[in-house]
Amino acid sequence: MLAGLVASIPIMLGYFPIAFSFGISALQAGINPWVTAATSIFIYAGAAQFILIALLAAGGSWLTVVPTIILVNLRHLFYGPALIHRLRPANTPAHFPTALLAYGLTDEVFAAALARLDRIPAATRESWYAGLQLGAYSAWVGGTIVGITIGQSTPQNSAFITALLTFILPALFFTLLLESSSPRRYRTMLITAVATGLLQTLLPTHHALIAGMLIGASFAMIRPVYE
């Protein structure tokens, strides 16, 4: 587990300031500090938490908020099957409850695990993965609590701090993407980026991004990039 904790340090360095920003943003939106902390502790949904705060601040009802957050996180249904066979190769006993391992599965944890699990002995993969999750979760909850604490004591600075930290999330994703990539995968990334850039001259940005991702995924299916 200790090795997993060490491996989680890059994620922790990214999660802490993002969660810090979340704590402040929730306070600005008028969300109770205890509710804000509970959101990170029990929901632990990353970017979906920011969406949750925005919907609540806009007066959205639970009938709107809950389905929206579920839809945003549906991608996790694909993460689990992609990792479970790496976590538990044939004839490898389970050491942790599957539900617990699923709870801590985030985008960044998935990327880091996908890149490294195959290089870890099968008998220690689950404990390594549990350590990876524990580090990420601790940083997220800790960052939220610190953000709440500082946001309550210095609310006049919170807007500046939040704006300053907006670059952290995309930077974290980009770092993990590079870490999990190989020369073969770079071709798919390049094709996706070029296609998206070209399509932006014809389509709105959000449409171009989706179309570029589909083109990149199609290329990956034609020429598999995962070994």
In this structure, the answer to whether residues 78 and 159 fall within a common structural domain is yes
In this structure, the answer to whether residues 148 and 60 fall within a common structural domain is yes
Q: What total of structural domains would you count in the chain?
A: 2
Q: What is the pTM of this model?
A: 0.71
In this structure, the answer to whether residues 143 and 197 fall within a common structural domain is no
For residue 85, give the 3-state DSSP assignment: helix
Q: Which of 5-19, 36-50, 186-200 is predicted with the least confidence, judged by mean pLDDT?
A: 186-200
In terms of Cα–Cα distance, which of 170, 161, 27 is closest to 107? 170
Residue 24 lies in a domain: yes
Residue 52 in this model has a pLDDT that exceeds 90: no
In this structure, the answer to whether residues 172 and 187 fall within a common structural domain is no
Q: How many residues does the chain have?
A: 227
Residue 227 lies in a domain: no
In this structure, the answer to whether residues 166 and 201 fall within a common structural domain is no
In this structure, the answer to whether residues 145 and 197 fall within a common structural domain is no
In this structure, the answer to whether residues 140 and 199 fall within a common structural domain is no
What's the confidence (pLDDT) of residue 225?
A: 44
Contacts by residues 33-36 (CB-CB < 8 Å, ≥ 24 positions apart): 33/148, 33/152, 36/144, 36/148
Report the C-alpha gap between 14 and 8 in whole angstroms: 10
Residue 128 lies in a domain: yes
With residues binned 3-state (H G I as helix, E B as strand, rest as coil), the percentages for the chain, rounded to 5, are: 80, 0, 20
Print burial letters for 101-137: b (CB count within 10 Å at least 16), e (below 16).
beebbbbbbbbbbbbbbeebeeeebbbbbbbbbebbb
For the stretch 160-181, pLDDT in tens is 555 555 555 565 555 555 555 5
In this structure, the answer to whether residues 170 and 140 fall within a common structural domain is yes
Q: Which domain holds residue 152?
A: 2-177
What's the confidence (pLDDT) of residue 67?
A: 86
Report the C-alpha gap between 211 and 214 in whole angstroms: 5
What's the confidence (pLDDT) of residue 226?
A: 46
Q: How far is CA 80 from CA 9, 40, 101, in A?
A: 22, 21, 9
